[in-house]
Amino acid sequence: MKLIINIKPFSFDLTRKLITSKGIIHKKIGLLLQIKDSNGNYGWGEVSPIEKKELEKSIESLDFIGKQTTKDSIENYLFELPGALAFGLGSCLADLESLTHRKLNLEGFDDAKSAYLLPTDIDPLESIRKYVDESNEKKSSCTIKWKVSHLENNFKEEKTLQKILDILPNNFKLRIDPNGGWSRQKAQEWINELKNEPRLEWIEQPLPSKDIEGLFSLATQIPIALDESLVEFPYLRKTWKSWQIRRPALDGDPRLLLKEIEQEDSQTVISTAFETGIGRRWVNHLAARQVKGGNPRAPGLAPGWCPKGPLFNNNPKLVWEAV
Ligand SMILES: [Mg+2]
């Protein structure tokens, strides 16, 4: 089957800046993909990496593939491509397959059931109090995610942890994400504080992505979820037998991630890398499938962090026309 690839760049600002131990994210830039087959059918995809280098690599790979190509050629390349590009192309092929072979109904997902990502630029305690009050009324998720290890407020995070635990209701869960920013010693200090804390769901990527030995060792003491390590060392997706934070937009062909999620013993949790409506279709679908599986956990969809507007519509054609 012959295919034509069309590409449009997009960018948008987040509604508030996200401060992590790795830096500040306030803007997303990427590419929208539209693939047309010889019967006039369309497939839609998004290339939306966090790292600038990955976007550059994706553009180089798209230049190499060329505007005119075939389905077989893309399928053969997918494994070698940057994860963000493989996600975009895989999602286009899934649309075309859905029209011609087996219908794939991409499910939606209610944002209110996502974990709540605490704002990183204001006092977390105030946000938690407000969220707890609201979620009782709205019946939204009882999972809170706290990104720690920001350079500018590092000195008071341990004290803040105690205050959070003082006010967090028993039916709430807490996820702590230092984005690889802790040393082994610092991780051990936090683990000592949290070891017997039933409200802690997991600590996400406590150590730098390369310290795999350290991560395996911490996981014998407390639930540890991997995130950045899985992007840098994809083989860990097979060998890490605890929680895995998977960001579909960075992960590669979404058809493969779907198969993984549907395995009964999967401990895979879906998380956003801040997408437009085109990428979000798959993020929502995977999140919806995850919570219907054997180990349901609130996905991390960062509700409210992307602005509103046509770029976030769930009809891909309207997103394409909006840029
Ligand atoms: Mg993370």
Dump pLDDT digits (tens) for 83-141: 999 999 999 999 999 887 878 899 999 999 999 999 988 889 999 999 999 988 888 88
What's the CA-to-centroid distance between 208 and ligand 1, angstroms?
Answer: 12
What's the CA-to-centroid distance between 227 and ligand 1, angstroms?
Answer: 5
**Mean pLDDT of the 246-250 span:** 96
Q: For the chain, where do the domains classified as CATH 3.30.390.10 start and end? A: 2-105
Share of the chain above pLDDT 70, in %: 98
Predicted confidence (pLDDT) at residue 264 exceeds the cutoff of 90: no
Helices H, strands E: what count in the chain? 13, 11
Place of tokens 């704002």: 119
What's the CA-to-centroid distance between 206 and ligand 1, angstroms?
Answer: 9
CA dihedral 183, 185, 187, 193 (to 10 degrees): -160
What's the CA-to-centroid distance between 228 and ligand 1, angstroms?
Answer: 7
Place of tokens 């999620």: 261
What's the CA-to-centroid distance between 223 and ligand 1, angstroms?
Answer: 14
What's the CA-to-centroid distance between 175 and ligand 1, angstroms?
Answer: 10
CA dihedral 17, 84, 12, 274 (to 10 degrees): -50
What's the CA-to-centroid distance between 107 and ligand 1, angstroms?
Answer: 24
Predicted confidence (pLDDT) at residue 276 exceeds the cutoff of 70: yes
CATH hierarchy code of domain 111-291: 3.20.20.120
What's the CA-to-centroid distance between 49 and ligand 1, angstroms?
Answer: 14
pLDDT tens-digit readout, 203-234: 999 999 999 999 999 999 999 999 999 999 99
pLDDT range class, residue 283, cuts 50, 70, 90? very high
pLDDT tens-digit readout, 148-174: 986 665 568 888 999 999 999 999 999
**What three-state secondary structure class fits 199?**
coil
Task: Say how far residue 59 (Cα) sits from the centre of its chain.
Answer: 21
Global pTM reads 0.94
pLDDT range class, residue 75, cuts 50, 70, 90? very high
The top-level CATH class assigned to 2-105 is alpha beta
Q: For the chain, where do the domains classified as CATH 3.20.20.120 start and end? A: 111-291
Q: How far apart are CA 110 and CA 199, in angstroms?
A: 23
